[in-house]
A and B are shown apart, each in its own frame.
Chain A
């Protein structure tokens, strides 16, 4: 003990009022980092002066696995990336391989794919809204959101038997024909859904506390958003009208009319508004699509054994969280030579440090929530 004692004078400065810089770990085991994200925060009091995202706690080597599976075998694996939007993941992968094969799914298949993917977008946004509101302290919207999401999952269950990791599509089209009540179920869900969105908005949008917690928080200007290669609602909230469904239409999106909602300020509130509006737009797409699902086959002409010619392809879709891209290199065998996935969550997360600097600890959860990340997709 004695040698540890130091003369008083040398430590006089330690009694001066002032704050040390604290390093606070948020995550990997934290209630609101949406999985196992670890954020190392450098704090001055409660102000964040720097941050570092540590990822990889959920790394499963999805891309590497692809190299040892056939194209067909790999399809279920992509469901596990963004596990709250498995249908979208599957769509991106199937279309990428179809592009590589030079095949195209028949129109009926593409329309059903569009309906299911849009339902999935709504489900993903609902899940985002519930957890985001919960992070900011509003307990109740979560349960309303999950109530509606449940209806969508029931439709998935009826369609393909699975609810979460659906493996709904096959390369070249669909395996399952839409079940008898499919249109009716989708309509029953979609018709009253705009009222539901209004209900969530009535709980949050006009609420002073909600506005105070989200307006001006985590601003990302249009230029920064482009520089960070952000995509999805994150870039649209910054005022950039970028939506792959319009820019490079896939599936059957060119058949339907819908708007791309954009924000102005690129803050958390705008991202919230953009996603709310996207849910309404997705509902409209679904309603348009079920009006007229064309008849015809649901499976295109692809062989039993998929052997794409050597070459490479990049195909991106507008997943609920942003641009989900598949870059597949084929060497002519039954297994891909290399699969590289561009997950929107990971790229959007890059902007986190920019967004959080100068804000408070409480804003960390608001910004993580607004980025709508899923760690399964970030780490792959």
Chain B
């Protein structure tokens, strides 16, 4: 009962904020709603007993990437963008795409329900030390991707600086 209330609360929060992100004209307000949407998603992770994922979502997305967004927003002249025409010439295309995606998802869930254990969270006891669990898998089975990730970070680091430095 409580679980469901909490789930619907977070889900509704995520969906409504997500809609507000794209409809708000003021880009800073959009950013705030994006943060809310990300945090609500984190809440849903938490409800699935994925504690570590929850906090990573909070630290990396809400804490890290959103700071980057907010900084970039402040590097843009807001008053100009506030008065710009929004990209809404292709709204009908967007609508068609959204409907198609929605239909696709509905069908997929309806057809593949047996394969997707929805609404059946794994027993809490099994997932208790979630950080350790994530770590264990990460540092044994996915060792190579993990090391490759560091190369990815290296590339990102260099790319960001090269791009930003050129513009100065």
Contact = CB atoms under 8 A, between A and B. Distances in A.
Contact of A8 (B75, B77, B84, B168): B84
Contacts of B168: 18
Nearest to B85: A5
Contacts of B164: 17
A370 B148 CA distance: 53
Given A14-B77, A15-B76, A6 B167 contact: no
A7 B77 CA distance: 15
Contact of B85 (A8, A14, A17): A8
A15 B167 CA distance: 12
Contacts of A6: 80, 83-85
A1 B84 CA distance: 10
A7 B167 contact: no
Interface string A1-40: 1001111100100111111100000000000000000000
A230 B81 CA distance: 49
Q: Counting chain B CB atoms within 10 Å of each CB, which of A1, A7, A17 scores highest?
A: A17
Interface string B76-95: 11001101110000000000
A4 to B, nearest CB: 5
Contact of B80 (A11, A17, A19): A11
B84 A5 contact: yes
A11 to B, nearest CB: 5
A20 B76 CA distance: 10
Contact of B75 (A5, A7, A11, A17): A17
B76 A4 contact: no
A115 to B, nearest CB: 58
Interface in B45-101: 75-77, 80-81, 83-85
B-side interface size class: 10 to 19
Nearest to A11: B80
A364 to B, nearest CB: 23
A139 to B, nearest CB: 31
Contacts of B167: 16-18
A11 B168 CA distance: 19
B76 A14 contact: yes
Contacts of B81: 11, 14-15
B163 to A, nearest CB: 9
Interface in B120-161: none
A4 B85 contact: no
A5 B84 CA distance: 5
A17 B164 CA distance: 8
Nearest to A3: B83
Contacts of A8: 84-85
B85 A7 contact: yes
A179 to B, nearest CB: 63
Contacts of A7: 84-85
B83 A14 contact: no
A14 B75 contact: no
Nearest to A4: B83
Nearest to B78: A14
Contact of B84 (A11, A16, A19, A20): A11
A180 B164 CA distance: 73
Nearest to A20: B77
A6 B80 CA distance: 8
Interface in A164-195: none
Contacts of A18: 75, 167-168
A5 B81 CA distance: 9
Nearest to A18: B167
Contacts of A19: 75
Q: Counting chain B CB atoms within 10 Å of each CB, which of A6, A14, A16 scores highest?
A: A14
A19 to B, nearest CB: 8
A119 B137 CA distance: 76
B136 to A, nearest CB: 41
A263 B44 CA distance: 66
A17 to B, nearest CB: 5
Nearest to B75: A17
Contacts of B84: 5-8, 11
A125 to B, nearest CB: 42
A2 to B, nearest CB: 10
Contacts of B76: 14-15
A67 to B, nearest CB: 53
A220 B115 CA distance: 77
A316 B52 CA distance: 75
Given A15-B76, A18-B167, 16 more contacts: A5-B84, A5-B85, A6-B80, A6-B84, A7-B84, A8-B84, A8-B85, A11-B84, A14-B77, A14-B80, A15-B81, A16-B167, A17-B75, A18-B75, A19-B75, A20-B77
18 contacts: A1-B83, A4-B83, A5-B84, A5-B85, A6-B83, A7-B85, A11-B81, A14-B76, A14-B77, A14-B80, A14-B81, A15-B81, A16-B167, A17-B164, A17-B167, A18-B75, A19-B75, A20-B77
Interface of A: 1, 4-8, 11, 14-20
Closest 5 CB pairs of A and B: A4-B83, A14-B80, A14-B77, A17-B167, A5-B83
